[in-house]
Amino acid sequence: MKKWYDEEYEFCVEVTGFLHGDHTERYCRNGEEIGDRYICTYGCPVNQDGYGICSKTMMMLYPLMESVRSGGDLENLGGEGKYTKTIVCPDGCVIFRLTARPLGNENFHKGHFYDAPDQAST
């Protein structure tokens, strides 16, 4: 992979609790534990051991991340702050807190970093 664009935000997804019980064995297929943290900018979040976040949870996180990238405020979507929102995984097992951190880089689209493929060639 050759990452060429410095993203605008870093995202942290932290496991803050479980909806039922105090462990995830035979409950959460990904084996989440309270305190687990996943970090990313644009790609999918991975933890300190290189394991990725649950794909079902990522389906919920992606629209929230895109809303932040486009200037949105997570409070408008029920978040605790502009850059923070708590969600429960689609299976109703694990509670996650998404936190975005601005990095001070230019927006991908407003900065014209995307070059569309040449539509004229046949």
Mean of the per-residue pLDDT values of the chain: 92
List all residues 6 or more positions away from 57 whose beta carbon is below 8 Å from its beta carbon: 13, 87, 89, 90, 94, 96
pLDDT at 86: 98
Average pLDDT over residues 40-66: 95
Band (84; pLDDT cuts 50, 70, 90): very high
Average pLDDT over residues 3-9: 94
pLDDT at 98: 98
User: CB of 103 within 8 A of CB of 7?
Assistant: yes
Whether the pLDDT of residue 5 is over 70: the answer is yes
